Each structure stands twice: as structure tokens, then as C-alpha cells.
Amino acid sequence: MRILTLLLVLAGLGLAVAGVATILGQASAGAQPWSNELSDNFVFIKAMPFALALGVAVGLLGGSGARRRAATRTDGSVRRFSRTSILLHWLITLGFVLALPTGIWQYLGGILDVTAPVPLYTIYRFHYIGATLILFCLAAFLSYSWMSGDRSLLVPRGQWSSHLRGLMEELPRSIARRLAGLLGIDLREPAPAAGRFTFYEKVVSFPSWSFVLTLITLTGLVKAGRFVVEVPGLVLFISSTLHVTAMVLIILKVLDHLRYTIARWPLMVAITTGWLPARRAADEPIAAERSGSAAALHGSDT
């Protein structure tokens, strides 16, 4: 199975390289009287299927090896991320570093009516490179999750109320009390122990990441797709508006993600090494605002 997926990845890589070479060859041939910006638009839309297909193949390869890895080490560390997850996390981070500032410039530059010190097509070019990386990673994450069967960031069916109760334990007391009243959660009930991931990650962070990434991808595809298929003006207008909305939401998500993980250093260590260091998790009282998520940093899975 592993050899089959490896062959699939190699075939995908070969096709992607051939596809990109052909696309760039067409773009540089000068056969079309297009501006740099329009030419880049076509390069991006034509490269998209290759990026998605390669992402699927890489995710399948990573997922096929994920099941065989040990979940704990002798020093008590617990595996939180596989090598594929770490690679994809940093690749999608790079994608955001390229796509987010360039997207903000395109939006704010238009709103504030200011001209960039560099030609606009170069800003779009970096935006497209970042977007291609993000598309590749999303496709890889999805196929990885399917292949490995890893659902640890999802709230299991029928467990939303217990997860909400656990979340209350992780929030500051004043916020938890108000929120529990609104949601009808009984704080006298015992809170469950978190698993590999905190309740905040499972109930708030991951679902909101999924939503904003889906929104930015779908609206971005509509915007990019207008160069190859006719898109009605209203659909394009709505897509553009929602694309900007998703951009603002991603800005907020990145800020919140950094705030959350910097306060819990073992999580930051885990996204570089893959392992939650047990000793550090025990030493540092940063598992959560209160004790509820300590188990998450120790890695006990319930």
C-alpha cells in the first residue's frame, strides 16, 4: 500500500512538474497579447488542478504511514503531530505569509486609493503563489485525514455537550460563567479530561479554521475561475465581498492562534518536533487558564 501511494506521489509530482513547465512555457511564449497580470491569472488557474492533485497524493502518502507510528515515547512524551502534519502546517503558514499581506494590500490599496511602490502584478503574483501553496496544503490535509483516519481534532458525535463543559473549564471564570448561562451548561457537573487536543482547539479553533479556509478557498476559486468560465456579475460581487470577509477572519484567527500557542509553549514545541514534552507540560502551568486542559498537554487521550 505504501509503495503504491509512493508511486502515486511520484506520478503526481512528475505530472505537476510537466504541467507547470508547460504552463510557464505557454505564458512566456508571447503568443497572447496579455498583460503581466492577466498572464499570471491564467498561470494560476491552470496550475490549480496540478496543485490540488499533488496535494492529494502527498496527503495519501503521509496518511498511509501515520498509523504505524508510536503514540508515546519512553520519556513520557506524547505524539501530537505526524511529520506530514508538521510539514503541511509550516507550508500553509508560508502560504499565509505570502497570500495574506498581499491580499490586504490589494484590498486596502483600493480602499485608500494608494499606489504600491512595486507594480501591482508582482503583488498579485505573490498572492497567487501563496494561494497555490494553501490549496496544495488543504488538499493534502483532507486526503491525509481520510487515509490516516485521524479525527482527533473533531468533536465526536453526541459529545458536544461534554466538550462544551470542558471548554468552560479552560476559559477564564468570568467568561465561562456568562457563557455557561447562555448555553445552558451546568458548571456543577464534573468536566471531562481533554485528549491530545484541548477543548478550545476542538470546539472553537478547529471548526472556525475549517470555516474560514473553506470560505476563502471557495470564493477564491470563483474569483480565479472567471478567467476560464463566465461568472455572473452578482456572483462575482458576492464572492469578492466574502473573500475579503474571510481574509479579515483569517487575520483574526492568526492573531488568536499565536496568542493561544505562545501562552502554551509545549504546543509550540509540538508543532516543530511532533511531540508534547511530558516534563515541560508538567513543569509549566500554561496548559490553560485553569486546570482543565492539563491532561491535554500530558497527552492522555480519553
The residue behind cell 501515520 is 66
**Angle (nearest 5°) at CA 242 between 241 and 245:** 95
Single out the residue of 280, 282, 290, 301 in contact with another protein (rule: CB under 8 A).
Answer: 280
Place of cell 475561475: 225
How many residues interact with another protein (rule CB under 8 A)? 24
| 17 touches another protein (CB under 8 A) | no
Per CB under 8 A, 234 contacts another protein: no
| Shortest distance, position 170 Cβ to another protein, whole Å | 15
The Cα 52–Cα 71 span in angstroms is 30
Q: Based on CB atoms, which residue is closest to another protein, 193 or 251? A: 251
CA dist 235 and 243 (Å) reads 12
For the CB of residue 104, give the shortest distance to another protein in the complex, in Å: 7
Q: Of 11, 17, 108, 116, which one interacts with another protein (CB under 8 A)?
A: 108
The answer to whether 277 contacts another protein (rule: CB under 8 A) is yes
The residue type at 14? G
What's the one-letter identity of residue 254?
V
Q: What is the tally of helices (H) and strands (E) in the chain? A: 12, 2
Residues in 77-106 at the binding interface with another protein, rule: CB under 8 A: 104
Residue 126 · residue 98 · CB < 8 Å: yes
Q: CB 53 → another protein: shortest distance, Å? A: 33
CA angle 235, 238, 242 (to 5 degrees): 135
Cell of 241: 465581498
Q: Give the separation between CA 137 and CA 95, rounded to whole angstroms.
A: 9
Helix (H) / strand (E) containing 204: none
**Residues in a beta bridge with 276:** 78
CB of 81 to another protein, least distance (A): 16
Between 83-112 and 265-273, two packed helices, what is the crossing angle to 10 degrees? 110
Q: Determine which residue in the list 118, 175, 238, 252 makes contact with another protein, applying CB under 8 A.
A: 252
182 binds another protein (CB under 8 A): no
Nearer to another protein, 277 or 292 (CB): 277
Report if residue 238 touches another protein, rule: CB under 8 A: no
Task: For residue 116, state whether it binds another protein (rule: CB under 8 A).
Answer: no
DSSP type of residue 79 = E
| Closest CB 268 distance from another protein, rounded Å | 7
Binding residue (CB under 8 A) for another protein from 269, 288, 294, 297: 269
21 binds another protein per the rule CB under 8 A: no
| Rg, the chain, Cα only | 22
Stretch that binds another protein, among 6-14, 32-40, 75-83, 257-265 (CB under 8 A): 257-265
Among 75, 113, 186, 230, binds another protein (CB under 8 A): 113
Asked if 126 interacts with another protein (CB under 8 A), we say no
* Secondary structure element (H or E) that encloses residue 288, with its range: none
CB of 278 to another protein, least distance (A): 13
Angle between helix 233-262 and helix 83-112 axes, rounded to 10 deg = 120
CB of 226 to another protein, least distance (A): 20
Which residues of this chain interact with another protein, rule CB under 8 A? 104, 108, 110-113, 245, 248, 251-252, 254-256, 258-259, 262-263, 265, 268-269, 277, 280, 284, 286
